[in-house]
Amino acid sequence: MRYRSAPATQPEALANIHAETAINAGCDGAGVKVAYMAGGIDTTLSDFQRNALFASAGSPAGSPVISDFQDFSGDGSSAPSGDADTESFLDASSIGAQGNSVYDLSTFVNPAHPLPAGCDIRIEGDAPGASITALKVFGANFTTSSAFIQAINYAVSSGVKVLNESFGGNGFPDSALDVTKLADDAAVAAGVTVVVSSGDAGISSTIGSPSTDPNLISVGASTTFRSYAQYSFGGINAPGFGNGTYADDNISSLSSGGFAQDGKTVDLVAPGDLNWALCSQSPTFSACGGQPIQSPGARASLRRSPRAPRLT
């Protein structure tokens, strides 16, 4: 069995989307290049090195999962990008984290809500056999449309098959002449599947561009509050307050689940709220706060103007 049930590998909501069934059947993304566009990332993490369970002829055990890292921000690949860096860790974790390391949640929780030792998890992606292309488009202070265009063009020319874009804007009017939409349309015409976050405006609010493009897959976030139970947070274990259970499959408040200006709504939703993801203890990635993992409001979006944070 390639999917591992213990320690828990559900922080990425693998059970909710039945990913373990696909992984056990050998459908783990092997041979597929998946790219994301965000900030910088620490490619040296243990969970970004290929586990033998998910090795293939083109990506043997021990080889880097993030096989290609390109900088289009102008800051350089080793320069920090603030909150955009945590977005990178979120995206890369969701796609291809290998579950190599075990994290005891009792060492990360607030002392006011202690857990017993041994509350162990692994962080494993939805397609742990895939190879990741990291495209850095956000610098420390700003980004540009030209950075997006260059990154999209690179993805197409380098053989990427799936491109994840966790960013957007809310132009008015929402025109088909958005330069990022035009580049994405060209990518789709070249055979790339482009997946775009719907935004971060709320469960009934406006969907952002370029996810309003009908040629792209517009994705919203649904809730998986399992992590509240995992680290005794949010009142879930408070005597007389919670009932010890947690809710799944609601539209997340950090997503956009309403309508675009032309009446279009999201194409699909997937778990994207309060899931565990990797981060880095390197001082270069200060947004990680010196922690090796994170559990932010998953699947919010980096916005082009103004820029605000978002993870899977």
CATH label of the domain that carries residue 50 = 3.40.50.200
Q: What is the pLDDT of residues 184-196, one digit of tens each?
A: 999 999 999 999 9
pTM for the whole structure: 0.88
In a domain, 105, yes or no: no
Q: Which residue, 196, 308, 184, 192, is CA-closest to 260?
A: 196
In a domain, 17, yes or no: no
In contact, 98 and 85? CB cutoff 8 Å? no
Q: What is the pLDDT of residues 217-229, one digit of tens each?
A: 999 988 887 777 7
In a domain, 169, yes or no: yes
Q: What are the CA-CA distances from residue 59 to residues 9, 23, 65, 216, 303 (Å)?
A: 22, 16, 8, 29, 33
Residue with tokens 């202690």: 114
By residue range, what is the domain housing residue 186?
30-97+129-303
Q: Is pLDDT of 303 > 50?
A: no
Q: 247 or 32: which carries more pLDDT confidence?
A: 32
3-state secondary structure the chain: CCCCCCCECCCCCCCCCCHHHHHHCCCCCCCCEEEEEECCCCCCCHHHECCHHHCECCECCCCECEEEEEECCCCCCCCCCCHHHHHHHHHHHHHHCECCCCEEHHHCCCCCCCCCCCCEECCECCCCCCEEEEEECCCCCCCCHHHHHHHHHHHHHCCCCEEEECEEECCCCCCCCCHHHHHHHHHHHCCCEEEEECCCCECCCCCCECCCCCCCEEEEEEEECHHHHHCCCCCCCCCCCCCCCCCEEEECCCCECCCCCCCCCCCEEEECCCCCEECCCCCCCHHHCCCCEECCCCCCCEECCCCCCCCC
In a domain, 312, yes or no: no
Q: Is pLDDT of 54 > 50?
A: yes
In a domain, 293, yes or no: yes
Report which listed range, 103-117, 182-196, 247-261, is most confident: 182-196
Tell me what pLDDT residue 170 has.
83
Q: Which residue, 171, 89, 166, 163, is CA-closest to 130?
A: 163
Please give the tally of structural domains in the chain: 1
In a domain, 1, yes or no: no
User: Cα torsion for 287, 291, 295, 298, to the nearest 10°?
Assistant: 30
Tell me what pLDDT residue 38 has.
94
Q: Is pLDDT of 301 > 50?
A: no
